Structure 1
Amino acid sequence: MTPAILRHPALKRWPVFAEDRLPMALWSAAEIAAATGGTASGDFQSAGVETDSRDVRGGDLFVALKGEAMDGHAFVEAAFARGASAALVDRPVAGPHVLVADTGEALRALAHAARDRTPAKIVGVTGSVGKTGVKEALFAALERASRGATHRSIRSYNNHVGVPLSLARMPARSRYAVFEMGMNHAGEIDALARQVRPHVAVITAIAPAHIENLGSMEAIADAKAEIFAGLEPGGTAVIPADSEYHGQLEAAARAAGARIVSFGSSPHATMRLLDAIPSANGGSLVTCEHPAGRLCYTVAEPGGHWVANSLAVMAGVLAAGGDLAAAGLSLAEMGGLKGRGARHRIAAAGGHATLIDESYNANPASMRATLAALGQTPAGRRIAVLGAMKELGDFGPAFHLALAEPIAAARLDQLVLVGEEMAALARELGKAGSAALGGTPAVTHARGAAEAIGALEQFGLIAGDAVLVKGSNSVGLGRVVDHFARRER
């Protein structure tokens, strides 16, 4: 007799999809061997794929990549000790494995096979700023609508290793998948996009990140537009309508045969902002319209840059055929990401302070946006620890000095500038009666994270403080966050 719970009307209405009949395991030995052209030592199944032995979990396939400094084959034994079900190797090992000629090529072949077998709607995301946040928000929106059948690249796995690894991890049963693509040089996005082959390609913004390598803003726009080269036939390009490079991006998208969906406050935007007002939780209440109607939703993350991000998310969901209502709910529930807006409630004299972790990356556009968000944050005192912005080349000195304006607008009480690139700005702001700052805030220049920690400790955090920590990842300001986050309460 069928149990009563299985006869419940809600279960009878539960949707059934063709991909539900696909295997539960991520990869079998035979599938890996067929995809890579390798030879399996025996039969096994793998639930995941990993290239770092320290991150291996039970059931993972460990891919022993060879790099310039490390050879992953030295860690095969450690991977098995952590529960790996098998290894992808270029030499025989003791344990279940698939033997291939080149493990890097084999990983890309496995990624290709994963992309070929999935029925999922694929979304690719790139841009100078906001791409990880938009990728995470798109994932949250599509996962909610698909009842958990959405895959994504984790962390910032957006390069020549991270993208194929993320593809290889994609379950055959996925209904949606979201992949982030990054670059330092021209041509890199093109190669990644041709692996991902998205149905929807999202460009968040064009800003002077990596301008040291690319030389001009126009070249940055061209490099980001390479994502359109990988679009599937009939695919959609999602582009920022308010960008001064909108025309350049639109032309590249049309040359690729893409349908275009734009977002922003411009009258011609497909997903057009009508209004954004502060909400009670510190985020924004956003109203926008698109060809099929009007939307009103809450964005939990504070700052005008997250209003723009939310429009990119809504445009991406629209282009992917997703559920806009589910997207609105997910934006209302999103929390900050580690290194990209996570907020910590930390112990301080007399109560608690708020620590805002933006330590993973920084460029002129994201610095300006994040300082503006700090200026709007209710706080007794506003404190910023700002690290140097890397990969700006000859443009660096001017971009660092230009931070004086958003620093002044943020109405800071204390400022710690970290790194040699910040020395000139520290001298300028430290001048008595600086016109840019009206004589405030107190400015300290630190050579590194340790000195920045010391400066904050000496200054002393008190109840009601809001502390922003932001800089390029190589400056190491994550150490500042970790030091004070230990006091989380």
Structure 2
Amino acid sequence: MNAPVAHPLLHHWPVMTRDALPLALWSAAEIAAACRGAASHDFQASGVEMDSRDVKPGDVFVALKGEAMDGHRFIDAAFAKGAVAAIVDRPVEYPHVLVSDTTQALHDLAHAARDRAVEAVRIAITGSVGKTGMKEAIFACLDRASRGAAHRSVRSYNNHVGVPLSLARLPARAKFGVFEMGMNHSGEIAPLAAHARPHVALITTIAPAHIENLGSLEAIADEKAQIFTGLVPGGVAIIPADSEWADRMIGHARACGAKIVTFGRAKGADVRLLDAIPAPGGGSLVTADLGDRRICYTIAEPGEHWIVNSLGVMAAVRAAGGDLASAGLALAEMGGLKGRGARHTLSVPGGTALLIDESYNANPASMRATLKALAATPATRRLAVLGAMKELGDFSDAFHRQLAEPIIEAGVTHVILVGPEMGALAEELGKVGSASLGKAPGFAHCEGPAEAIAALGQFGLTQGDAVLVKGSNSVGLGRLVSHFTDKAHSQG
């Protein structure tokens, strides 16, 4: 077998089975060396965790210190859950590695994991919409092709703590690592990219998420494009060709010396949509032009936004040296994520209803995309529970008010609005209802999820209904989803 070449983008790595990956992620000596610390005992750790509530047997617990919380307070809880050791800045009675600063130790461990995984192609993902979904899709594609030798950020671990933690969990013999990166303020993306040093960096799209803090879409595009500053020499920047800010992002990528790949519907996109038709089960059959070849594949996820998302996924898989045929199979099998498109069948009078869980996040672009997907969902009635969109600042009322049109276009018959920011939309729907002689949906405006649960109960769900639940995570609509899905499970 040939030895791995120096540039991973130009090489298809030999297949590695999951069984070949070591069970021990870190030894005490390796952690001590990486973090410039001292180990009290010899141990083998199979994982790394920073939240004592999430510790699993075999984990090393990193006792991080924040402004309001000190992880050292939870040492006992971590070991009660099965931790084998802790990384601490003061001696404790349990096996530990003593360091001067636990946050710096996490960064050091992340960099050590990155540097020792010499065969791993690292892919970084950011964008205003679709980061987690596309991260999971790229991971599924690469994991299938490498037979379990891919790694990715779990949940939405995409900030100044989550990215180093995800890197620290990267197995030494992994073939791929997929890392999500998010931001709320300017200056947050570049440090994350510096941690990961990706070979491939993808921007999903630019939309007015966090515009309260950034001030404009141009500033959002500029901040997202800082992901390219972390690229290794010769790395690939993947950019949405359909974005109004594509040229702006391309300029940033060129300044970083990146190879540029664009994707989308736009003429001239390197990965370009040729055709998409509905597929059985609600997904799409996609035909795309990759320049030197055409590919046809099925995506299980419904909605036009996922058609374009899949092009970005294919661009990333190809840039990383993954197998496109395996990627197509993975996309055909991929289902919705909790809070991000998971679909639940509810038992209701007369039969079943569909609940679409998009409760984890919301901004103007994703609201419009999911309402459009709801419109394409076969249903006798379409209902929506929509939570407030956060971090829109002075633009908040205007962006909420503008949702009236896509709600009506989606054929929504009943809508429940949750949160004070939704007052502007409630007012707009009231005006539309007065002027349209009944074309606007019936609606209720609620303070929080408890009232929304009651309101949806009053509207009632019947055979053939489809209900979309979407809002910013802080609104708490996950409670509503749990209420109705747990109820359906208990009845089943």
Which range, TM-score by smaller chain?
A: over 0.9
Q: Displacement of 1:223 after TM fit?
A: 0.3
Counterparts of 2:304 and 2:103 in 1: how far apart (Å)? 41
CA distance in 2: counterparts of 1:245 and 1:436, whole angstroms: 36
Match of 2:66 in 1: 67
Q: Which runs of 5+ in 2 are unaligned?
A: 1-12
CA distance in structure 2 between the aligned counterparts of 1:482 and 1:17, rounded to whole angstroms:
38
SS at match of 1:357: strand
CA contact (8 A) 2:18 2:147 kept: no
- Using the alignment, how far apart are the partners of 1:16 and 1:285 within structure 2? 28
In the alignment, the residues of structure 1 paired with residue 443 and residue 42 of structure 2 have an alpha-carbon distance, to the nearest angstrom, of 63
Counterpart of 1:207 in structure 2 is 207
CA contact (8 A) 1:428 1:434 kept: no
Q: With the length of structure 2 as denominator, give the TM-score of the two structures.
A: 0.94
Q: Which residue of 2 aligns with 1:51?
A: 50
Contact 1:36 1:106 in 2 (8 A): yes
Aligned length: 476
For residues 189-229 of structure 1, what are the alpha-carbon distances to aligned partners after superposition, in whole Å with 9 as ceiling and x for unaligned? 00000000000000000000000000011000000000000
Contact 2:16 2:146 in 1 (8 A): no
Match of 2:317 in 1: 317
Listed as ranges, the gaps of 5+ residues in structure 1 are 1-13
Q: Secondary structure at the match of 2:310?
A: helix
Residue 160 of structure 1: aligned partner:
160
The 1:437–1:343 alpha-carbon spacing in structure 2 relative to 1, beyond 3 Å, is farther
* Residues 150, 362 of structure 1: alpha-carbon distance in 2 compared, 3 angstrom cutoff: same
Instruction: Tell me, yes or no, if structure 1 residue 107 matches structure 2 residue 93.
Output: no
CA distance in 1, matches of 2:380, 2:139: 35
Cα pair 1:198 1:231 within 8 Å, conserved = yes
Deviations, residues 362-420 of structure 1 (Å, cap 9, x unaligned): 00000000000001100111000001100000011111111011111100111101111
Q: In the aligned structure 2, how far is the partner of 1:433 from the partner of 1:25?
A: 62
Q: What is the Cα deviation at residue 68 of structure 1? A: 2.0
Moved more, 378-387 or 433-442: 433-442
Change (3 A) 1:345 1:224: same
Q: Would the aligned equivalents of 2:85 and 2:96 in 1 still touch at CA under 8 Å? A: yes
Instruction: Work out whether 1:258 is the aligned partner of 2:252.
Output: no
Q: Following TM superposition, by how much is the alpha carbon of 1:23 offset from its aligned partner in structure 2, in angstroms?
A: 5.2
Residue of structure 2 equivalent to 1:299: 299
SS at match of 2:412: coil
1:123 aligns with 2:123: yes
CA distance in 2, matches of 1:113, 1:428: 54
Query: What does residue range 334-413 of structure 1 map to in structure 2 within 5 Å?
Result: 334-413=334-413
Query: Please, what is the CA RMSD of the aligned residues?
Result: 1.7
Cα deviation for residue 22 of structure 1 reads 8.0
Do the aligned partners of residues 16 and 154 (structure 1) sit closer, same or farther apart at CA in structure 2, a change above 3 Å counting? closer
Q: Distance in 2 between matches of 1:360 and 1:16?
A: 35
Output the CA distance in 2 between the equivalents of 1:18 and 1:39: 34
Query: Which AA in structure 1 matches 2:55?
Result: V
- Tell me how far 1:101 sits from its aligned partner: 0.9
Supply the AA of the counterpart residue of 2:65. Answer: K
Q: How does 1:177-256 map to 2 (within 5 A)?
A: 177-256=177-256
The AA in structure 2 aligned to 1:411 is G
Deviates more, 1:435-444 or 1:98-107: 435-444
State the TM-score, normalizing by the size of structure 1: 0.95
Partner of 1:90: 89
Given the superposition, is the C-alpha separation of residues 431 and 19 from structure 1 closer, same or farther in structure 2, using an over 3 Å criterion?
Answer: closer
- The alpha carbon displacement at 1:427 in A equals 2.2
One-letter code aligned to 2:46:
A
Q: CA deviation at 1:19?
A: 12
SS of the aligned residue for 1:129 comes to: coil
The answer (yes or no) to whether the contact 1:236–1:319 under 8 Å persists in 2 is: yes
- Structure 2 SS opposite 1:269: coil
What is the CA–CA distance in structure 1 between the aligned matches of 2:215 and 2:483, rounded to whole Å?
37
Q: Which moved more, 1:201-210 or 1:456-465?
A: 456-465
Corresponding residue for residue 5 of structure 1: none
| Residues 263 and 39 of structure 1, relative CA distance in 2, 3 Å threshold | same
Q: Which amino acid aligns with 1:337?
A: L
Q: Structure 1 pair 406/90, CA: closer, same or farther in 2 (3 Å)?
A: same
Deviates more, 1:159-168 or 1:440-449: 440-449
8 A Cα contact 1:429 1:436, kept in partner: no
| Alignment check: 8 A CA contact 1:20 1:173 kept | no
Q: Which residue of 2 aligns with 1:31?
A: 30
Post-superposition offset of 1:17: 6.2
Percent identity, please.
70
Q: Secondary structure at the match of 2:354?
A: strand
Q: Distance in 2 between the 1:384 and 1:305 partners?
A: 19
SS at match of 2:232: coil
SS of 1:347's equivalent? strand
Deviation of residue 72 (structure 1)?
Answer: 1.0
Tell me whether 151-160 or 431-440 shows the greater mean CA deviation.
Answer: 431-440
The Cα of 1:257 is off from its aligned counterpart by 0.2
**Aligned-partner residue type, residue 107 of structure 2:** R
- How big is the shift at 1:425? 1.4
- Give, in angstroms, the shift of residue 15 of structure 1: 5.3
C-alpha distance in 2 between matches for 1:162 and 1:92? 25
Deviations 1:121-159 (A, max 9, x none): 000000000010000000000000000000000000000
The separation in 2 between residues aligned to 1:355 and 1:136, in whole angstroms, is 21
Residue of structure 2 in register with 1:175 after alignment: 175
- Cα distance in 1 for partners of 2:178, 2:485 equals 30
Amino acid at match of 1:186: S
Distance in 1 of aligned mates of 2:34 and 2:18: 20
Letter in 2 for 1:134: M
Task: Give distance in 1, aligned partners of 2:132 and 2:222.
Answer: 20
Determine helix, strand or coil for the equivalent of 2:374: helix
Q: Give the AA of the match of 2:198.
A: P
Cα deviations across residues 314-350 of structure 1 (Å, max 9, x unaligned)? 0101111111111111111011001100111111111
Shift of 1:69: 2.1
Q: Which residue of 2 aligns with 1:483?
A: 483
Letter aligned with residue 279 of structure 2: S
Task: Give the secondary-structure state (helix, strand or coil) at the position aligned to 1:413.
Answer: strand
The runs of at least 4 aligned residues of structure 1 exceeding 6 Å deviation read: 16-22
* Amino acid aligned to 2:223: A
* Counterparts in 2 of 1:84 and 1:432: CA distance versus 1, 3 Å: closer
Q: Which residue identity is paired with 1:264?
A: G
